[in-house]
């Protein structure tokens, strides 16, 4: 928890919220991400070989050739989509139990990261599918369509969060959707196994370890780099959500102070009204 707020663990209070989204931890994460992206680009585009093997006819080669390089982004993005949206579901469940804004903001941040990663998964998959399968999209494929549905459910989750409502009601509705949408994650992940030989999408390469040498190393590096990138983005997004809530509370406190001043104006100026006391300051947090 401390990594999200950039301070010691404990129940966060509005007064203790960070003034910005950066910290030593995020700077280290950012540096690791940057170095990882450079290393991944070198491995993916220069050092790792294209996917090419001898075909059944003499002198022919089969494989995905250079299209395989998209795998180093597509597979990590898909894996971290599951993790991010799974974390959103877990945080939503805890919010419904504890009613703590901390968990609601964690769910929100993870949902945003998950939607972005899911979009990357879909786009890179389409770009890969055109040369390899011969089509951008196949509506009859369970893996493709369930991934699209997962994306739309959590895009709807984010849209629902932006519908104006009381913070508690909004968080409750979002948590129910965030938790319910997670039912799709195992369906998406297992679809190629459950409908084996009935889908266009291939089965898992990593589970059966049908990959080796530099291709395997680059894929694992891609998973690590995408994970650090997702964590870095999630930390920043969480802190931003915290600051947004703080700004909302500050607006409420300012309104309270203004009204108290207005109410006190016609009366004796000596009235000890305690202007500006943020008695309801946490209402918006």
Partner 1 sequence: MPDSRGDPASPPLPAGTGDGDGLDLTPRRPEARPGRRPPVARRIISLLVVAGAVGGITFALVRLVTDASLFFLNTDEAVERRDELSGQRFRMQGTPLAHSVAGTRVDFEQAVAFTVAFDGVAADVVHVGSPPDLFTPGVPVVLEGRWVEGRPPDLDGFACGVNDGYYFASDHMLVKHDNEYRDTYPDRLEAAGAGGESAGC
What's the gap between Cα 88 and its chain centre?
Answer: 8
**Cβ proximity of 110 and 234 under 8 Å:** yes
Site for partner 1 in 212-241 (CB under 8 A): 212, 215-216
Residue 188-207 contact track with partner 1, rule CB under 8 A, x = bound: ---------xx-x-xxxx--
Q: How far is the CB of 37 from partner 1 (least distance, A)?
A: 23
Q: Which is nearer to partner 1, 32 or 250 (CB)?
A: 250
Separation of alpha carbons 69 and 88, rounded Å: 30
Instruction: Please give the size of the binding site for partner 1, defined by CB under 8 A.
Output: 71
The nearest distance, CB 208 to partner 1, in angstroms, is 7
Smallest gap, in angstroms, from Cβ of residue 260 to partner 1?
A: 7
Nearer to partner 1, 30 or 167 (CB): 167
Q: Which residues contact 36 (CB under 8 A, 6 or more apart)?
A: 221, 224, 225, 228, 229
Q: Which is nearer to partner 1, 9 or 156 (CB)?
A: 156
Q: Does residue 242 contact residue 12 with C-beta atoms inside 8 Å?
A: yes
Tokens of 110: 């993870």
C-beta of 39 vs 278, nearer to partner 1 = 278
- 43-56 core/surface letters (b: 16 or more CB in 10 A; e: else): bbeeebeebeeeee
Return left, alpha or beta for 248; rule: phi > 0 is left, psi -120 to 50 is alpha, else beta. Answer: alpha
> From the list 8, 11, 56, 59, which residue makes contact with partner 1 (rule: CB under 8 A)?
56
Which CA distances in Å does 76 have to 51, 128, 166, 170, 199? 18, 15, 37, 31, 21
Residue placing its CB nearer to partner 1 in the complex, 33 or 215: 215
The conformation of residue 62, written as its DSSP 8-state character, comes to E
- Interacting stretch for partner 1, rule CB under 8 A, among 60-68, 97-105, 116-124, 235-243? 60-68
Q: How close are the terminal C-alpha atoms of the chain, in Å? A: 18
- For tokens 């995020």, name the residue: 26
Smallest distance, partner 1 to C-beta of residue 8, A = 28
Q: Which helix (H) or strand (E) holds 116?
A: helix 101-132
Shortest distance in whole angstroms from residue 210 CB to partner 1: 5
- Paired with 62 in beta bridges are 53
Q: The tokens 């579901």 sit on which residue?
A: 89
Contact map string, positions 108 to 147, toward partner 1, x by CB under 8 A: -----------------------xxxxx--xxx-x--xx-
Which residues within the stretch 81-100 sit at the binding site for partner 1 (CB under 8 A)? none
248-277: contacts with partner 1 (CB under 8 A)? 248-252, 255-256, 258-260, 262-264, 266-267, 271-274
- Site for partner 1 contains 280 (CB under 8 A): yes
Subset of 157-176 contacting partner 1 (CB under 8 A): 159-160, 162-164
Distance CA 5, CA 240 (A): 10
Rounded CA separation 233/120 (Å) = 15
Q: CB 159 → partner 1: shortest distance, Å?
A: 4
* Cβ 42 to partner 1 shortest distance, Å: 19
């Amino acid at each position: 928890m401390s990594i999200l707020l950039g301070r010691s663990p404990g129940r966060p209070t509005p007064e203790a919220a960070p003034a910005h989204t950066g910290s030593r931890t995020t700077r280290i994460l950012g540096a690791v991400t940057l170095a990882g992206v450079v290393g991944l680009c070198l491995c993916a585009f220069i050092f790792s070989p294209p996917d090419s093997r001898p075909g059944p006819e003499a002198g022919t080669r089969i494989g995905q050739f250079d299209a395989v390089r998209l795998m180093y982004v597509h597979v990590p993005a898909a894996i971290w989509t599951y993790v991010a949206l799974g974390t959103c579901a877990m945080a939503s469940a805890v919010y419904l139990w504890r009613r703590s804004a901390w968990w609601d903001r964690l769910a929100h941040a993870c949902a945003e990261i998950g939607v972005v990663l899911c979009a990357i998964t879909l786009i890179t998959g389409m770009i890969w599918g055109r040369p390899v399968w011969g089509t951008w999209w196949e509506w009859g494929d369970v893996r493709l369509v369930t991934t699209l549905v997962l994306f739309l459910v959590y895009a709807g989750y984010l849209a629902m969060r932006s519908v104006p409502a009381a913070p508690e009601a909004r968080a409750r509705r979002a948590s129910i959707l965030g938790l319910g949408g997670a039912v799709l994650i195992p369906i998406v992940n297992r679809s190629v196994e459950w409908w084996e030989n009935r889908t266009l999408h291939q089965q898992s390469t990593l589970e059966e370890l049908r990959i080796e040498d530099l291709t395997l190393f680059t894929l694992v590096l891609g998973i690590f780099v995408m994970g650090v990138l997702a964590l870095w983005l999630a930390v920043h997004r969480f802190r931003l959500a915290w600051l947004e809530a703080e700004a909302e509370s500050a607006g409420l406190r300012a309104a309270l102070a203004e009204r108290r001043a207005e109410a006190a104006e016609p009366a004796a100026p000596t009235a000890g009204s305690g202007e500006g006391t943020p008695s309801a300051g946490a209402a918006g947090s």
